[in-house]
């Protein structure tokens, strides 16, 4: 196994704990936690990545001949998928065919010492292989089994294959996204999967805290169709109490105005938000239309949203006569909320992202230095770190199995039988 390379986070050095040597940093907060990542593609594996970023020992288990499809998603360099370098970071990669007796036995040996197991097979698949919750919890009563599926473990749709795209459609996200009169619009990236990954990591930590109280692990049943519905806000309440269905409004909001993207004189785009009444008033004074703030309808966000055409004309006309730099400077001086519309090239150059260390360079033995997103948040005492980028398929199989006590001959026999 390639020696992991520690990537410093932009936070100050953590204060040593009283029991640590004077100059020794505190261990990462999830050090000692063993996670088995049996999942594929995005929601489950990304949840495991988030745990690995803060010190968990994540063992990525893939089929010997059918690796995680995320290795082949998106652009590749020298035949190596770049998405995997992000998704597979801080994980040790092994191969096991869980449907074979040998693969099942090795998985059970790994599970005996695992704190968390994350899987996303269709309901009933683990049970078919003799690896269901009853078996896993008997071997290790303290393990947490996170089951991440499109529709959950029960219900009329539970047997269906489920992906984030279906969640984006079924949750109401696509119906509310797009221009008025235009088609429902899906995001061009894994939005629902990413939200589900965040929810799964939270659920796992909640279950582990529950284990600290009860001494027992439990099953996390997470359906990808649910977390995205949660972040869509009070739409169920609105419909339940008022019969209101949120329409497609493009970049506008039904809750406040002006709220849109506006083109500058030099061809850039700027986003303006006026969720606070005081900010809306500052914007109108800045663009030379202070009389609009005296209109009765201007006093509420909903009232302003009802007159978005008037406000957009005022703000858009003013921004259209100024360059991006001029408009940004004027808005900042007026303490009004504005931001440039970036693509990834702008993100990599932005001074705020640089100050936060949002993008870091990670050494990689396959491709050389890689720039990717840093860990998700900063902890002052026990920060996370990117120790290495995604590893080649099965790169750590022999090392992990040797840790279980398997001899070279036993590993060779498993490989000969197709279990590895």
Burial profile 72-81: b = 16 or more Cβ within 10 angstroms, e = fewer: ebeeeeeeeb
Across the chain, mean pLDDT equals 93
Burial class (CB in 10 A: 0-12, 13-18, 19+), 389: buried
CA distance 318 to 251: 18
Mean pLDDT confidence for 303-325: 97
Given the DSSP bridges, would you call strands 57-62 and 91-95 parallel, antiparallel or unpaired? parallel
- pLDDT band for 17, please (50, 70, 90 cuts): very low
List, in order, residues 6 or more apart from 206 with CB less than 8 Å away.
none
- 3-class DSSP state of 118: strand
* pLDDT higher than 50, residue 2: no
- pLDDT band for 9, please (50, 70, 90 cuts): very low
For residue range 277-293, what is the model confidence (pLDDT) as tens digits?
999 999 999 999 999 99
CA 144, 148, 149, 155 torsion: positive or negative? Answer: positive
Q: Is 350 a catalytic residue?
A: no
Answer yes or no: are the C-beta atoms of 396 and 93 closer than 8 Å: yes
Name beta bridge partners: 222.
148
Q: Give the domains, in start order, of the chain with CATH numbers.
A: 34-231+350-416 (3.40.50.10540), 260-341 (3.30.1540.10)
Q: Considering the chain, what percentage of its residues have pLDDT values greater than 70?
A: 95
Burial profile 187-226: b = 16 or more Cβ within 10 angstroms, e = fewer: eeebbbbbbbbbbbbebbbebbeebeeeeebbbbbbbbbb
How much is the pLDDT for 26? 87
* pLDDT higher than 60, residue 160: yes
How much is the pLDDT for 4? 37
Q: Other C-beta atoms within 10 Å of 340: how many?
A: 16
For residue range 232-251, what is the model confidence (pLDDT) as tens digits?
999 999 999 999 999 999 99
Mean pLDDT confidence for 309-337: 97
Question: Out of 57, 97, 115, 193, which one is annotated catalytic?
Answer: 193
Tokens 């995680």: give the residue. Answer: 68
Mean pLDDT confidence for 374-390: 97
What would the two tokens of residue 344 be? 């990834």
Mean pLDDT confidence for 168-192: 95
Answer yes or no: are the C-beta atoms of 118 and 60 closer than 8 Å: no
For residue range 18-58, what is the model confidence (pLDDT) as tens digits?
455 556 778 999 999 999 999 999 999 999 999 999 999 99
Answer yes or no: are the C-beta atoms of 74 and 104 closer than 8 Å: no
Mean pLDDT confidence for 109-121: 98
- pLDDT band for 11, please (50, 70, 90 cuts): very low
Mean pLDDT confidence for 176-184: 95
CA distance 242 to 28: 48
How much is the pLDDT for 15? 38
C-beta contacts of 187-193 below 8 A and 24+ residues apart: 190/42, 190/164, 191/164, 191/228, 192/43, 192/164, 192/165, 192/167, 192/168, 192/224, 192/225, 192/227, 192/228, 193/41, 193/42, 193/43, 193/46, 193/163, 193/164, 193/224
Q: In terms of Cα–Cα distance, which of 191, 28, 208, 55 is closest to 118?
A: 208
How much is the pLDDT for 309? 95
Q: What is Dmax (Cα atoms) for the chain? A: 84
List, in order, residues 6 or more apart from 271 with CB less than 8 Å away.
251, 260, 261, 262, 338, 339, 340, 341
How much is the pLDDT for 21? 59
CA distance 276 to 307: 16
Measure CA of the first residue to CA of the last residue in the chain; give whole Å.
17
For residue range 191-232, what is the model confidence (pLDDT) as tens digits?
999 999 999 999 999 999 999 999 999 999 999 999 999 999
CA distance 182 to 394: 46
Angle at 28 between CA 23 and CA 30, to 5 degrees: 155
How much is the pLDDT for 23? 66
How much is the pLDDT for 25? 78
How much is the pLDDT for 24? 72
- pLDDT band for 1, please (50, 70, 90 cuts): very low
- 3-class DSSP state of 303: helix
Q: Considering the chain, what percentage of its residues have pLDDT values greater than 90?
A: 92
Across the beta sheet with 269-272, the strand order is 260-263, 269-272, 338-340
CA distance 193 to 59: 20
List, in order, residues 6 or more apart from 132 with CB less than 8 Å away.
126
Mean pLDDT confidence for 83-93: 98
pTM for the complete prediction? 0.90
Mean pLDDT confidence for 77-104: 97
CA distance 150 to 165: 10
């Amino acid at each position: 196994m390639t020696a992991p390379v520690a990537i410093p986070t932009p936070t100050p050095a953590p204060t040593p704990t009283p029991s640590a040597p004077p100059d020794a940093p505190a261990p990462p907060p999830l050090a000692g936690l063993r996670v088995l990542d049996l999942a594929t593609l995005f929601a489950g594996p990304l949840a495991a990545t988030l745990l690995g970023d803060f010190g968990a020992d994540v063992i990525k288990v893939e089929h010997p001949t059918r690796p995680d499809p995320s290795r082949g998603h998106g652009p590749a360099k020298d035949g190596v998928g770049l998405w995997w370098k992000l998704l597979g970071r801080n994980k040790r990669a092994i191969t096991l065919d869980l449907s074979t007796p040998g693969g099942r036995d090795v998985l059970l040996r790994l599970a005996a010492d695992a704190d968390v197991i994350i899987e996303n097979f269709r309901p009933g698949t683990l049970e078919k292989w003799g690896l269901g919750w009853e078996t896993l919890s008997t071997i290790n009563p303290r393990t947490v089994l996170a089951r991440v599926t499109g529709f959950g473990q029960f219900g009329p749709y539970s047997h269906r294959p489920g992906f984030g795209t279906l969640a984006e459609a079924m949750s109401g996200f696509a119906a509310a996204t797009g221009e008025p009169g235009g088609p429902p619009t899906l995001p061009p990236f894994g939005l629902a999967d990413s939200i589900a990954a965040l929810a799964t990591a939270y659920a796992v930590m909640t279950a582990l805290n529950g284990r600290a109280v009860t001494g027992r692990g439990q099953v996390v049943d997470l359906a990808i169709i649910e977390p995205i519905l949660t972040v869509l806000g009070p739409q169920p309440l609105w419909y339940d109490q008022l019969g209101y269905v949120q329409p497609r409004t493009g970049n506008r909001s039904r809750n406040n105005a002006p709220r849109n993207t506006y083109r500058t004189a030099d061809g850039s785009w700027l986003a303006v938000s006026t969720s606070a009444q005081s900010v809306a008033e500052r914007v109108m004074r800045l663009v030379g239309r202070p009389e609009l703030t005296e209109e009765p309808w201007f006093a509420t966000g909903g009232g302003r949203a009802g007159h978005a055409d008037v406000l957009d004309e005022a703000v858009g006309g003013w921004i259209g006569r100024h360059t991006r730099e001029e408009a940004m400077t004027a808005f900042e001086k007026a303490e009004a909320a504005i931001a440039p519309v970036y693509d990834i090239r702008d993100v990599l150059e932005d001074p705020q992202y640089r100050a936060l260390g949002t993008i870091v360079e990670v050494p990689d033995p396959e491709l050389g230095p890689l720039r990717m997103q840093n860990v998700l948040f900063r902890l002052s005492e026990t920060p996370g770190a990117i120790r290495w980028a995604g590893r080649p398929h099965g790169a750590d199989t022999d090392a992990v199995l040797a840790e279980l006590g398997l001899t070279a001959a036993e590993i060779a026999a498993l490989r000969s039988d197709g279990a590895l």
